[in-house]
Structure 1
Amino acid sequence: MAEEVLENCRIQLRDGLTEAVIKSLLDDLRAENVLGTEEIEEILQKTKTRTDQARDLIDSVKRKGRKASEILLKCLEKRDEHLYKSLNIDRHLAIQETGATSSHIPITTDKPKTTDDVYKMDSNPRGLCLIINNKNFENPKRERKGSQKDVDSLGKLFKKLGFLVEIKEDQTASEIKQLMIDYSKDARHADCFVCCVMSHGDETGVEGYDEQTCPLNDITSPFDGDNCTSLIGKPKVFFIQACRGHEMQSKVLVADGSSSSRIQKSGEISYSIAKDSDFLIAMSTVYGYLSIRDSYNGSWFIQSLCKHLEEGSTRDQDILSILTKVNNEVSRKEGIIKINNDEIDAKMTPQPSFSLTKLLVFRAPKAAASK
């Protein structure tokens, strides 16, 4: 029975359901007349944590019996196919229909099965996390209000994840370029390098304090295999919060339902890789469009990234799965901004690109995770 499947997968569902998916499921259950308005409001009380909301959602539906539980599982497959498949829901349902027991069937997770599938992430510190925040500019009217919120969120998160965090503020374009060269030669590199750059920007790159542009290639290329041998085979991660043009993305309505050559050297097997391997560059918006930042709460992209990365790191989720959730959440956000005294709808979608060769999973050191 479907309600028994919910019970068997209860803990994994409780831990795996995100806030966005919970709200979508509640909308579905309201439309299917499974839950009423008062029941949904009770689940979504502001004082409840995400875990409490997920637990109450599962229990409320399970109490209503088989049909309600079947509807929830069907909606889950639509709203979070990755979670649905990772829990082997179809297999559990099939076993229940045959009358067999599922109590001893292992529930799969999204954890990588072998160390060959995932980048090493156990040094302490994990590596360097450089945060560059350009808040003030030569033209004081271009101050990036709210950017300190992003700095605080990123700094707190990556310290928790075991990185040595260093913050640089109000850098010129040439200073940003030189910082990248200097950090590429840093002797403290370990398992991973993370760089967060937050500024104004356009189609060609990000702006310095002096309102000159630093091309994206000048930020990333110092860390390729030719220029930074200490990070060969290790992930280089760049989060870029900046506009990439002057257009605003339009709104559309969505209807429900919708290897390398091996060589021998000194008796050991090694292999060569392309110099641009192992990069992840996550841009806050797509080419040609504006990136949205709230003057009080920080930028849409960075705040969503910090939330989902913190949650995902506790469940061994890889960074691309996490960024997919970020894309989903940010693309659903709506706001109003003023451009030339005109109020327009604010919409955006982040855009990651990568040449990663393994799964990248950020894990907090055990001592930090237990605090």
Structure 2
Amino acid sequence: MAVAALTGVRTGFVDNVSKPVIKQLLDDLVEGGVLNDGESESVREDNGTRADMARDLIDIVRKKGDKASSKMITYIQRRDSSLYEKLGLLDNQPAPEPLEQEPSKQEPPKQEEWSDTLKHTTEQFWRGKLRDNSIYPVTKEAFKNRVALLITNIKFTDATLNRNGAEKDQENMEKLLSALGYEVVKYTNLTGKEINEALIEFSKHPKLKETDSVVVVIMSHGKLGAVLGVDYKKTLSNTEKQDEFPIDNIYKQLGPEKCRALLDKPKIIIIQACRGEKAGAVLVSDSTKQDLVCDDVKQPSPSLPAEEEGLEDDTLRCVHKEKDFICLLSCTPDTVSYRQRDHGSILIQYIVQVFNTFAHEDDIEELFRKVMHRFEDFKTQNKRQMPTKDRCTLIRRFYFFPGL
């Protein structure tokens, strides 16, 4: 019996378990439903020494019976296999049933299993992360002060560049961001200069001092390193300057040098725009016969060989000037991203699916990975697209804790 097994190793457990393992076991037991938050807090705060914490913990669990004791034995095996062997639990107890695979390690479900609405995290899950120094802190007060910037270019001065279907992207992202607790500052149809001005204004938003994070979403046509403004022209005279917004400006305006309010806070960037700059490209418009179009004004002719593009060089950046960022770009360098006229961009559709289904239990990097994995299913004739995580300087894990 599991209770007898724990009772038999009580002294050895008290003498040998480390304090970090005790804390991990407490988190496991809370998430596993063995302990409640009050019992966990009592073990942490009402005992002055490591040994007292260990003694209190094992006694509480033993009194809850075989099922609780069996779970604790399983958690000990997972958290400290050498302690598990030293205590002789393998000899005193049948091999514990394997733990269910952690949600963050699971592959995304099939398409029909995606959630249509955002799942909420539990109070228990949030409290279990509060004392973990490897996670960015999220308090209920900070959650109430979240703010996000959403910029969508749909209609261009040159009507042949209009992004039909992007209205759906704007609607979907605004709904998702609001559900995640963010006040959405929304702009539509901006020039490159106006995008920059909107970003500067956003960097002064009064809620940034109290928020735990920000999200910036920009959706437009694009090229490598830039998002295109609505006044972009296919051809320019010698005296004209092209209407573009350098993506690098996001890092400059929201970095610690110009935005102290966001120091040490996650800054999540999502860019839905192509990154192709091919010589000999042809202009692409949203033909009424096309259900799938790309978000670049340039697309290589299939008869021309691909040209290599240089990678962006991050080696000269100082860490203290750029930290706590993560960016998801809709495609790899030198490639295009696609948009459906009726449903919007493929990237935004997949982000909504993944976030609705997993944001309640996965951190942002795992969410982005699952979005990328989702593109394994995107295979339309000879078209492929792969999003890219870029310039990630997160030093901890960030959870949205939706519904907090």
TM-score for both structures, normalised by structure 2: 0.55
Distance in structure 1 (CA, Å) of the matches to 2:332 and 2:274:
9
Assess if the C-alpha contact under 8 Å between 2:251 and 2:322 holds in 1: no
- Paired residues for 1:235-314 under 5 Å: 235-245=266-276, 246=298, 274-314=320-360
Among residues 207, 212, 224, which one is paired with 2:228 in the alignment? 207
Q: Across the two proteins, how many residue pairs are aligned to each other?
A: 244
Counterparts in 2 of 1:100 and 1:278: CA distance versus 1, 3 Å: same
Assess if the C-alpha contact under 8 Å between 1:248 and 1:348 holds in 2: no
Assess if the C-alpha contact under 8 Å between 2:213 and 2:267 holds in 1: yes
Counterparts in 2 of 1:141 and 1:247: CA distance versus 1, 3 Å: closer
Deviation digits for residues 272-298 of structure 1 (CA, Å, limit 9, x no counterpart): 971200001110001111111111111
Assess if the C-alpha contact under 8 Å between 2:143 and 2:212 holds in 1: no
Please name the residue that 1:170 is paired with: 189
Is the aligned partner of 1:139 residue 2:153? no
Counterparts in 2 of 1:105 and 1:279: CA distance versus 1, 3 Å: closer
204-213 or 112-121: which moved more? 112-121
Counterparts in 2 of 1:174 and 1:117: CA distance versus 1, 3 Å: same
Distance in structure 2 (CA, Å) of the matches to 1:175 and 1:163:
22
Please name the residue that 2:393 is paired with: 355
Q: Output the amino acid matched with 1:229.
A: R
Assess if the C-alpha contact under 8 Å between 1:200 and 1:207 holds in 2: yes
Counterparts in 2 of 1:278 and 1:200: CA distance versus 1, 3 Å: same
Q: Output the amino acid matched with 1:231.
A: L
1:117: how far off?
1.2
**Structure 2 stretches of 5 or more lacking a match?**
1-30, 32-77, 82-88, 105-124, 233-242, 277-297, 303-317
Distance in structure 2 (CA, Å) of the matches to 1:248 and 1:102:
57
Distance in structure 2 (CA, Å) of the matches to 1:284 and 1:150:
13
1:220: how far off?
2.6
1:124: how far off?
3.5
- Asked which structure has the greater RCO (Cα within 8 Å, sep 6+), the reply is 2
Is the aligned partner of 1:100 residue 2:131? no
Please name the residue that 2:137 is paired with: 120
Distance in structure 2 (CA, Å) of the matches to 1:303 and 1:249:
27
Counterparts in 2 of 1:104 and 1:274: CA distance versus 1, 3 Å: same
Distance in structure 2 (CA, Å) of the matches to 1:105 and 1:237:
32
Distance in structure 2 (CA, Å) of the matches to 1:350 and 1:222:
24
Distance in structure 1 (CA, Å) of the matches to 2:200 and 2:226:
17
- Paired residues for 1:59-98 under 5 Å: none
Please name the residue that 1:323 is paired with: 368
1:311: how far off?
1.3
Q: Output the amino acid matched with 2:401.
A: R
Is the aligned partner of 1:155 residue 2:149? no
1:365: how far off?
2.8
1:356: how far off?
0.5
230-239 or 116-125: which moved more? 116-125
Q: Output the amino acid matched with 1:183.
A: F
Secondary structure in 2 aligned to 1:289? coil
1:167: how far off?
1.2
Q: Output the amino acid matched with 2:182.
A: F
Counterparts in 2 of 1:99 and 1:188: CA distance versus 1, 3 Å: closer
Q: Which runs of 4+ in 1 moved over 2 A?
A: 101-115, 246-250
**Structure 1 stretches of 5 or more lacking a match?**
1-11, 13-87, 251-271, 337-344, 367-371
Counterparts in 2 of 1:233 and 1:346: CA distance versus 1, 3 Å: same
Among residues 207, 210, 227, which one is paired with 2:258 in the alignment? 227
Assess if the C-alpha contact under 8 Å between 1:135 and 1:199 holds in 2: yes
Assess if the C-alpha contact under 8 Å between 1:244 and 1:288 holds in 2: yes
Deviation digits for residues 319-364 of structure 1 (CA, Å, limit 9, x no counterpart): 111111111112430225xxxxxxxx22110001211011011111
Distance in structure 2 (CA, Å) of the matches to 1:351 and 1:237:
13
Counterparts in 2 of 1:117 and 1:170: CA distance versus 1, 3 Å: same
Q: Output the amino acid matched with 1:193.
A: V
Distance in structure 2 (CA, Å) of the matches to 1:199 and 1:142:
10
Distance in structure 2 (CA, Å) of the matches to 1:348 and 1:160:
27
Q: Output the amino acid matched with 1:226.
A: E
Q: Output the amino acid matched with 1:128.
A: V
Q: Output the amino acid matched with 1:364.
A: P
Counterparts in 2 of 1:179 and 1:326: CA distance versus 1, 3 Å: same
Assess if the C-alpha contact under 8 Å between 2:225 and 2:248 holds in 1: no
Distance in structure 2 (CA, Å) of the matches to 1:362 and 1:162:
9
Secondary structure in 1 aligned to 2:133? helix
Is the aligned partner of 1:333 residue 2:378? yes
Secondary structure in 1 aligned to 2:402? coil
1:310: how far off?
1.8
103-112 or 199-208: which moved more? 103-112
1:108: how far off?
5.6
Larger radius of gyration: 2
1:134: how far off?
0.1
Distance in structure 2 (CA, Å) of the matches to 1:99 and 1:298:
55
Distance in structure 2 (CA, Å) of the matches to 1:149 and 1:205:
23
Q: Output the amino acid matched with 1:181.
A: I
Q: Output the amino acid matched with 1:334.
A: K
Deviation digits for residues 131-178 of structure 1 (CA, Å, limit 9, x no counterpart): 100000011111111111111111111111111112100001000011
